[in-house]
Structure 1
Amino acid sequence: MTAALYVDRDSVVHRVPPGGKLVALVAVGTAVFLVGDWRILAGILTAVVVLYRCARVPWQVMLRSLCPALVSMIFVVVAGLLDGWLTAALVALRLATLVLLAGVITLTTHTSAMLESLERALRPLRRAGVNPAKVSLALSLALRFIPVIAQIVLEVREAQRVRGMERNLFAVALPVVIRTLRMADDIADAVDARSFG
């Protein structure tokens, strides 16, 4: 079952315009890669966690937003450990901050409002050949299918668990990639059938 991304609440975070949230995401995303002190990064991460409280989003939902990136986070942290615990800590803090901030923005903003805001921001780039409608469509499809792909991963892991292969990364990743590519082909055919561009 695919869960809805938006959590309907009346909060200060929900009332912030989508454009402001996207600017904040870009600004914080840039800042966390420029900062090299783990204490400052821990402070930024704490502020992001407080945003969930301000948005009145349940803690379970916050933790669930971390789950899709957990495998990637573990892999990156293990790779960072090769260069020392400090590097691993910095990588983990950066990744957790970005995932949770993107999560709180997604949970407190209607996808349609976010895409309209992005489309307006991209209009000046028409002169450079960028089609804002196509960029908006691509992003809306990406957002729509994040939970769908998460569901595919869950189904494949359950199927491989029955076979005793749930710990085999290749046995889980290959079927997920194949099913995702098939789904992408179906979506491309549907878009072509509607003569979009």
Structure 2
Amino acid sequence: MSVTTYHPGTSWLHAVPAGPKLLGLALAVTGVLLTSHVAVVGTELAITALLYPATRMPFRLLWRNTRVLLPFLALVVAFQLLTATWQKSLVIGGQLLIVVLLAGLVTATTKVSTMLVLFERLARPLARVGVSPRRVALVLALTIRCIPLVASAWHTSSDAYRARGMRRTSWRVVVPVIVRLLRSAEALGEAITARGVAVDQPVSRHDQR
């Protein structure tokens, strides 16, 4: 299971409604991206990391959220070292890490059903042009749910590959990852069908529990 799935709890961040929480995330990300000094980015990163224990999140969730980004982060930092300064590479790398940690914290403290209700409410103006708000909300909610599934499938396949004595992850891991994702998609479709969910049916309060 990925860090970015919902983690039940009773912290102050769990109690914050989805709307203000996502607005706060947008403002925080904007502030982080406007930062250009290494020391300031380092301070922001430290504060972000401290938010995990402050919201009673286990340390393993912080580590898993960071580990998922490490390969991509290493490539970005290396590229910036070749094309710019080391200060610029640290700033960009730190910004990426902060954004991922903040987003992971929000999704870990917010139910997908709650986000679905919020997205549907925000998408209601689109109904005037023939777009179903329910469909838009469902797509966004499934996107949030499926992104961590990709990371989880990759790590599971990589661990299985190394368990067979292979030291490095090969391109062959792509095949079992795709198979896992297809099976997950099939199971998700069966679960939706079994519950009789209709994309044009409004979300009830019972579904949010």
Q: Contact 1:156–1:175 at 8 Å: present in 2 too?
A: no
Instruction: Please say which of residues 2-11 and 82-91 is displaced more in the overlay.
Output: 2-11
Please say if 1:133 is aligned against 2:121. no
Secondary structure of the equivalent of 2:123?
helix
Q: Which residue of 2 is the match for residue 145 of structure 1?
A: 146
Q: Secondary structure at the match of 1:8?
A: coil
Residues 164-186 of structure 1 deviation map (CA, whole Å, 9 limit, x = unaligned): 36343x333x3266437745975
8 Å CA contact retained: 1:115, 1:140 = yes
- Residues 13, 54 of structure 1: 8 Å contact kept: no
- What does 1:148-187 correspond to in 2, within 5 Å? 148-161=149-162, 162=164, 164=166, 166-168=168-170, 170-172=171-173, 174-175=174-175, 178-179=178-179, 182=182, 186=186
Aligned to 2:22: 22
The Cα of 1:154 is off from its aligned counterpart by 2.5
Equivalent residue letter for 1:81: L
Does the Cα contact within 8 Å between 2:6 and 2:109 map onto a contact in 1?
A: yes
Query: Unaligned regions of 5+ residues in structure 1, if any?
Result: none
Map 1:25-174 onto structure 2 (within 5 A): 25-82=25-82, 83-161=84-162, 162=164, 164=166, 166-168=168-170, 170-172=171-173, 174=174
Q: Judge conservation of contact 2:3–2:65 (CA < 8 Å) in 1.
A: no
Cα RMSD of the aligned pairs, angstroms, is: 3.1
Deviation at residue 29 of structure 1 after TM alignment? 1.9
Aligned partners of 1:8 and 1:108 also within 8 Å: yes
Following superposition, the deviation at residue 3 of structure 1 comes to 7.4
CA–CA distance in structure 2, aligned partners of residues 99 and 4 of structure 1: 10
Q: Which runs of 5+ in 2 are unaligned?
A: 201-209
- Whether contact under 8 Å (1:13, 1:51) holds in the other structure is no
Task: Say if 1:25 and 1:176 are closer, same or farther in 2 by CA, change over 3 A.
Answer: farther
How many percent of aligned residue pairs carry the same amino acid? 31
Return the offset for 1:195. Answer: 7.8
2: CA distance between counterparts of 1:131 and 1:139? 13
Q: Residue deviations 1:9-51, cap 9 Å, x none?
A: 2221111111011111212222222221222222222222232
> Structure 2 CA distance, aligned partners of 1:48 and 1:84?
25
| Separation in structure 1 between the aligned mates of residue 131 and residue 188 of structure 2, nearest angstrom | 20
| Cα distance in 1 between the residues matched to 2:71 and 2:167 | 17
Cα deviations by residue, 1:94-133 (Å, 9 ceiling, x for unpaired): 1111111011111111111122112212222333444321
> Could you state the TM-score of these two structures normalised by the residue count of structure 2?
0.76
The more displaced of 36-45 and 178-187 is 178-187
Seen in structure 2, the aligned counterparts of structure 1 residues 74 and 176 have a Cα distance that, compared at 3 Å, is: farther
Greater Cα offset, 154-163 or 44-53:
154-163
Instruction: Give the 3 Å change call, closer, same or farther, for CA 90–182 of structure 1 in structure 2.
Output: same
Kindly provide the amino acid, as one letter, of the partner of residue 122 in structure 2: A
- d(CA) in 2 for partners of 1:51 and 1:113? 21
